[in-house]
Amino acid sequence: MRNSWLIASREFLERWKSKSYQWMLLIGPLIILVFTYFLLKFGDEGKKSINVLIADPTNLFDNKITSNQTKSINYSFYTTYLDYKAFRDGSRFSEFDAFVEINEKILSNKTVKLFYRERPSTDIKIKLKFELERRLEEQMIDQFTDLSIDKYRQIKQPLNVDFLDVYDPKNQAESEKGWVGVFFGVLILFFIGFFGMTILRSTSKDKSNRVVEVLLASVRSKELMLGKIMGIGLAAFLQLMIWSFVIVIGLLIFKEFVFLDIFDAENYKGLQYAESVKNDILANSSLTRYNAFIDLIYHRINYGVMIPVFLIFFLASYFFYAAFFMAVGATAGSESDGQQFIIPIFLLLLLSFYAGFQTIYAPESSMAVFFTYFPFTAAMVALIKVSNGLSTSGFFQLVFSLFLLVANALFFLQVAARLFKNGILSSGHRLTWRNIFQWLKKT
C-alpha cells in the first residue's frame, strides 16, 4: 500500500502543478456563481402589476378592499359564484390576471384561493395577502365583535392565501427541489468525465513513453493502478472541495451584501396596514422578498444531509467509473485506439440525465426504481431523492443503492486490475473484444 501512496502522490502533484488545473480551481466556481446570480436576479420576475377579480357572492367584503388602492393592484368585484375553470376559459374574464374566491367558509378556515394566469411577483403576493387579510379583519370586527381593532389583532389568526396556477391548481408540476439534486448529480458527472479522461490519458502516456516498464520493475501492477486512481481522485476531490468552499462563500455574499431583501417602507405608504402589520412585513422581509429560487437555495434544502450524501456517492461513483477508464487506458494499443470503448462509457454517463428526469417527474415508476439501483445512474437518482426529502423506506433504498454501487466498484476494480496487469505492457496492437477476453482469462 505504501507504493500505491507514493504513486498517488506523484499523480496528484502532476495534476496540482498543471496550469489548467489551477485555472479551473477559480474559473469553475466563478462560472457557477455567475449563473446562480442571474437565476437569483431574475428568478422573481413575475408580474409587477395585476388586475384582480374578486368573486364575492355573499357580498362579505361589500365591494371594497382598501380605500387607497396601489398602482400595482387593481380590484374588481363579481357578485356571483365563479369557478376557476370558467374564469380560465371565459372570454369576458380575459382582462383579469387573477381571481380571488371568497365564500362563507373564509370566516372559519381563514383561507382564500387566488388563481393566477401568470405568476405574480413576491411583492404583489405579499400586498395581496395583507390587503385581503386587512379587509377581512375589518368586516369581522364590524359584524361579530365589540372589540377594538387593536384588541382583535392580538387574538386574530393569520389568513392563509393559496397561490395556485390556474392551469395547474393542484401544483402537480412542482419539482424545484429535485433540480437541486440534478445540479449535484451533474457536478459528479462532470468531475467523473473530466478526471476519468485524465486517468485514460495518463495511463496511455505512461504506456507509450515506457515509463510504466520502469515503474513495474519496482511495484506490482495492482499497486500502480490503485496509485494512479487514488492520486487523480485526490486531485478531483480537492478541486471539488475548493469549488464548494468558493461557491458557499459566494452564496453568503449574495445573501448578505448583494440581495439584501429588505423592504423599503416607502412602498407601503398609503396602505391601510396596522403598524403591527408593517412591522411584521419588515421583520420577515429576509424571507418574503426571496424569490422561489432563493427560497429553494437558502431554506428548502437540508444541506446537512445533502452534502455528506453527495460526497459519499461521488467517491463511490468515481472508483466505479475509474475502473472502466483505467481498463481502457491499459489495454489500448494507442491513446486514440480506445476511443471506441470510451463512447459507451460516456453514453452511460449521459443516461444519468434521463434517469434524473424520470425520477423527478415519475418517482414511483418502475423505471425510476431501476435507475435507483443501476450503478451507472445511482448517484444522480440518490441525490434527487435526498433533495426531495427521504422517507424511512427511501432511506433504506438509498443505503441499498450505495451498497450495490460500492460492490460493483470493487468488482470492476478487480476486473480492471487483471486487464491492467495483462495489457499494460502490450503496445502496437489494435484493441478488440477478443484481446480483452483473452486478458481476462489470464491470471
| pLDDT mean over 136-164 | 71
Residue 144 has pLDDT above 80, yes or no: no
For residues 227 and 5, is the Cβ–Cβ distance under 8 A?
Answer: yes
Q: How many CA atoms lie within 13 A of 175 on its CB side?
A: 15
SS3 144: helix
| pLDDT mean over 94-116 | 86
| pLDDT mean over 188-209 | 88
| pLDDT mean over 93-114 | 86
What are φ and ψ of residue 74, in 5° steps? Answer: -120, 125
pLDDT at 189: 93
Separation of alpha carbons 278 and 219, rounded Å: 73
Residue 281 has pLDDT above 70, yes or no: no
DSSP assignments along 284-344, one per residue? THHHHT--HHHHIIIII--HHHHHHHHHHHHHHHHHHHHHHHHHHHHH-SSTTTTHHHHHH
For residues 46 and 122, is the Cβ–Cβ distance under 8 A?
Answer: yes
pLDDT at 157: 61
Instruction: Report percent pLDDT > 70 for the chain.
Output: 79
Q: Write down the pTM of the prediction.
A: 0.67
Residue 231 has pLDDT above 90, yes or no: yes
What the chain holds in terms of domains, given with CATH numbers, is 2-39+176-275+282-441 (no CATH), 50-165 (3.40.190.10)
Composition of the chain by helix, strand, coil, percent to 5: 65, 5, 25
Separation of alpha carbons 277 and 282, rounded Å: 9
pLDDT at 238: 94
Q: Would you place residue 403 in the very low, low, confident or very high pLDDT band (cuts 50, 70, 90)?
A: very high
SS3 77: strand
CB atoms within 10 A of CB 333: 19
Question: If you search the block for the grid coordinates 468525465, which residue do you land on?
Answer: 193
pLDDT at 326: 92
In the chain, the N- to C-terminal Cα span, in Å, equals 21
pLDDT at 314: 95
Name every residue whose Cβ is closer than 8 Å to that of residue 195 and which is 6 or more positions away in sequence.
232, 233, 235, 236, 318
Element (H, E) at 114: strand 111-116
What's the whole-number average pLDDT of the chain? 81
Residue 268 has pLDDT above 50, yes or no: no
Least trusted range by pLDDT, from 49-63, 101-115, 392-406 = 101-115
How far is the CA of 226 from the CAs of 8, 198, 259, 348, 427, in angstroms? 8, 14, 46, 23, 21
What are φ and ψ of residue 277, in 5° steps? Answer: -70, -45
More confident: 311 or 285:
311
Least trusted range by pLDDT, from 167-181, 314-328, 427-441 = 167-181
Which sign, positive or negative, has the C-alpha torsion 22, 27, 32, 33?
positive
| Most confident listed range (1-5, 29-33, 179-183, 272-276) | 29-33
Residue 87 has pLDDT above 80, yes or no: yes
Which residue, 420, 414, 11, is CA-closest to 220? 420
Q: Would you place residue 407 in the very low, low, confident or very high pLDDT band (cuts 50, 70, 90)?
A: very high
pLDDT at 155: 67
Give the single-character DSSP code of 96: -
| pLDDT mean over 172-180 | 66
Residue 335 has pLDDT above 90, yes or no: no
pLDDT at 173: 46
296-315 per-position pLDDT tens digit: 677 667 788 888 999 999 99
